[in-house]
Amino acid sequence: MNNGKKILAALCGCVLLAGVGACSSSNSSGVELEFMTGMSTGSRQLKALTSVVEEFEKDNPDIKVTLVPGTNSYESDIKVRLAGHNAPDLWNTHGWSRDRYANFLEPLQDRDWADRMNNTLDNAIKKDDGSFYALPLDAAITGIVYNQTVLDRAGVDVSDIASWEDFSAACDKVVATGATCVAASGKENWTSGDIVDYMAPGMYNDDQLQELSDGTFDTDQWAKAVTPVYDWARAGYMNVDYTSATSDDVAKLIASDQCAFGFQPNSLAQSVEVYNPDAKLGFMAYPSETGDRYLISAEDYAIGVSNASEHKDEALKLLDFMAEPDNMKKLSDTTSNPPAFDDVEMNIGQLSTSYDYWVTQEQTRTVPVFDRVYLPNGMWDTLTSTTDALITGQSAPADAAQQMKTSFDSLYGQAS
């Protein structure tokens, strides 16, 4: 380990002793692994990972692991580390193991546990040759999270919402009861970015998606795709405190049976249940204007090993330990998502009813997260800021589309 890494590991150990107990102290006689988790301090996910790592350290006393919590600058922190040829030994790839980080990661398709993985994430993490570069801690199958109490009060059946026109009609019924239809946070505008990111796959046909992949951005098509969001805000479907609201406020609004829908990963259900354990929740498939309804399939928490690590064997040993069924259950149980392994029991609480309907019974198609496949690396900030401007009325759809094109044309073809 180089001096910079030793200093960083020591600093992280000092800081984390107060928060995450599993972070280890100095280990002069053995191997020290730095693990950038992307998980926030105090989160259920980090607590579960800490427990698994503690067991690993007991079984491998010559290996110590420093777990580094995630921050708001996690993505940029990783980019800086990679650009400086100073990658951590392991890191959470946060949705980009294949399309951004593959050149920096050890391929994993030949690990003993690889054939235990189910195929729910194939279109999100695997290359055409079957190679993949991260161990998924869960299989993020995401739909629109809804509050059943609010919908029952409005007389809305989610199975009838096949188009965005149907969705708007449902919103009319919801707001007529005095409730909010869709909530998002202006202070944490990733929540508004998620709305467009999850809607977009159903706004493009295969030919239009291929054009994006080939580097052509059609402003008219993007303007058409985001017009529903602009219209929802004008129609009063969205929370009136959008500008000042936090993501916690969104969860509280849904928890108090005052909001119908949240366009966020299934972890939103966890946040809602913190404020109201009795809230009746589910998720529905996304409407589509170009084909059948769909769900989003993505790697949420997924861990890769640096192919430049000085302790690659030890890092892979930890990854193999995490992949054991008992440990995978501990980790996936904290996410409100099903496990990525067929031999691990699913525990997603009340969302299991929705999963059984949309995934098992209806066999709803899954598509990858739009920006990760069809937009150049670096466009997320533009996506979120333009969506925020649509909601607040600072931009019309055509203006937002032109900003997106400018960013797209600037970034397309640049190296990750």
Architecture of 144-284+375-411 per CATH?
A: 3-Layer(aba) Sandwich (3.40)
Domain ranges in the chain? Answer: 3-140+299-332, 144-284+375-411
- The pLDDT of residue 415 is 52
Note the CATH number of domain 3-140+299-332.
3.40.190.10
- What integer pLDDT is reported at residue 174 of this predicted model? 98
SS3 category, 159: helix
Model confidence pLDDT, tens digit, residues 144-169: 999 999 999 999 999 999 999 999 99
Strands (E), 20-81: 31-36, 63-68
In the chain (416 residues long), the average pLDDT of successive 10-residue segments reads 41 40 50 96 93 98 96 90 96 91 97 93 90 94 96 97 97 98 96 97 96 97 98 98 97 98 93 96 97 90 96 98 96 89 91 94 94 91 97 98 97 73
Report which residue type is found at 135: L
**Domain 144-284+375-411 in the same topology as domain 3-140+299-332:** yes
Task: Specify the pTM.
Answer: 0.84
Alpha-carbon dihedral angle through residues 34, 343, 131, 416, given to the nearest 10 degrees: -50
For every residue of 167-224, DSSP letters joined together read HHHHHHHHHHTT-EEEE--SSSTHHHHHHHHHHGGGG--HHHHHHHHTT---HHHHHH
Confirm if 241 and 183 have CB atoms less than 8 A apart: no
Reported as a single tens digit per residue, the pLDDT across 66-82 is 999 998 889 889 999 99
